[in-house]
């Protein structure tokens, strides 16, 4: 399903003082694809996500979203261009109800919903992530997986052109994991363009069209999940020399 280029990352680097967190990364994701960004802890995956969403400013390189240059834009501008994300540690708006948390994603995103439109879309997203009827619940009364679902609904309500899921499946128990994978799979079948950062190998195998593997801030492999997970350098990066 070769589509238009959704996101093109070209030679992007980011350093924090002397530490090079992302080192000349280049990769591309096409429309309607699910790309897995994987690698051992501390390999720079989350930093890469933060560079795409604008939470961090890149030092060099270029990021293009559907051809338009978004490198160096503020996060709110990038969100308006249609990039939505979830966070590694779930971030709720604690003084608000579940419904209002979803509203937050829709009002200022690139759809800029308000009034009836907003309410209908938010209700539909709550339904989609399995929180139908829970709109009035205060978030403080929600379980961890429900908060994760809610965060996903908040990202989806803006109808993003690119969705970034940063370890969205982390911390779920086996049965919740099944639900979570099915949920992301349903998004993939809708034709959403998604980048996932994940450690859960089952999820990577069943969800991702392609994978980019990072180690020490640089790309070490790229291809289908089967290809990269069989790659010697990838195995070495995860498990050490003696296993390769």
Partner 1 sequence: MTGAEVRNFVIAIVLFALAALIPLTGSGYWLSIGVSIATFMVLSTSWALFSGPTHYISLATGAFYGIGMYVVGLGIEILPYPVLLLIAAVLGAVLAALVGLATLRLSGVYFVIFTLGLAELIRQLVNWGQTTQGSSSGLYVLTDISEPMIYWQLLGLGAIVYLLGWWINRSRLGFALRIIGNDEVVAVHSGINTASAKIILFVVSGTVATVTGALLAPRLSYIESSIAFSPMLSFLVVIMALLGGAHRLWGPIIGVVPFMLVWDLVTAKFPNQTTLVLGICFLLIVYAIPHGLAGLVEKYRARARGAF
107 binds partner 1 (CB under 8 A): yes
Neighbours of 71 (CB within 10 A): 19
Q: Could you tell me the sign of the dihedral formed by the alpha carbons of 38, 41, 44, 45, in that order? A: positive
Q: Closest CB to partner 1 among 128 and 154?
A: 154
Stretch that binds partner 1, among 11-19, 76-84, 172-180, 197-205 (CB under 8 A): 76-84
Q: Closest CB to partner 1 among 160 and 225?
A: 160
193 binds partner 1 (CB under 8 A): no
Is the CB of residue 152 less than 8 Å from the CB of residue 87?
no
Distance CA 134, CA 92 (A): 15
Per CB under 8 A, contacts with partner 1 among 156-175 are 158
Cβ at position 218, least distance to partner 1 in Å: 26
Per-residue CA distances from 167 to 56, 197, 203, 229 (Å): 18, 5, 11, 18
Residue 98 in tokens: 């579940």
Length of the chain: 244
Q: Closest CB to partner 1 among 78 and 169?
A: 78
Residue 104 in tokens: 């937050």
Q: Which of 36, 39, 44, 109 binds partner 1 (CB under 8 A)?
A: 109
Per the listing, tokens 């834009």 go with: 73
Distance CA 70, CA 62 (A): 8
Per CB under 8 A, contacts with partner 1 among 44-73 are 53-55
Per CB under 8 A, contacts with partner 1 among 77-96 are 79-80, 84-85, 87, 91-96
Please provide the distance, in angstroms rounded to a whole number, between the alpha carbons at the two ends of the chain: 33
Distance CA 176, CA 25 (A): 33
Q: Which of 62, 64, 110, 236 binds partner 1 (CB under 8 A)?
A: 110
Q: Closest CB to partner 1 among 103 and 168?
A: 103
Cβ at position 168, least distance to partner 1 in Å: 15
Binding residues for partner 1, rule CB under 8 A, total 27
Cβ at position 119, least distance to partner 1 in Å: 13
Residues that bind partner 1 (CB under 8 A): 53-55, 74-76, 79-80, 84-85, 87, 91-96, 103-105, 107-110, 114, 154, 158
């Amino acid at each position: 399903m070769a589509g238009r280029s959704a996101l093109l990352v070209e030679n992007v680097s980011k350093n924090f003082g002397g530490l090079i967190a992302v080192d000349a990364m280049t990769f591309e994701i096409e429309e309607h694809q699910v790309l897995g960004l994987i690698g051992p802890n501390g390999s720079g995956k989350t930093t890469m996500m933060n560079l795409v969403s604008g939470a961090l400013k890149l030092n060099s390189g270029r990021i293009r979203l559907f051809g338009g240059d978004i490198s160096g834009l503020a996060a709110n501008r990038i969100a308006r261009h249609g990039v939505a994300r979830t966070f590694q540690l779930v971030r709720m708006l604690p003084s608000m109800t579940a419904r209002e948390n979803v509203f937050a994603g829709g009002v200022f995103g690139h759809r800029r919903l308000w009034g009836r439109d907003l309410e209908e879309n938010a209700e539909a997203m709550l339904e989609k992530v399995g929180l139908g009827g829970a709109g009035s619940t205060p978030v403080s009364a929600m379980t961890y997986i429900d908060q994760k679902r809610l965060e996903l609904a908040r990202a989806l309500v803006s109808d993003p052109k690119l969705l970034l899921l940063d370890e969205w499946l982390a911390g779920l128990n086996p049965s919740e994991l099944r639900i979570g994978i099915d949920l992301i799979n349903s998004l993939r079948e809708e034709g959403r363009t998604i980048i996932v950062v994940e450690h859960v190998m089952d999820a990577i195998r069943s969800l991702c069209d392609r994978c980019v593997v990072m180690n020490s801030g640089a790309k070490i492999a790229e291809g289908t999940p089967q290809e990269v997970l069989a790659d010697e350098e990838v195995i070495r990066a995860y498990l050490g020399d003696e296993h390769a």
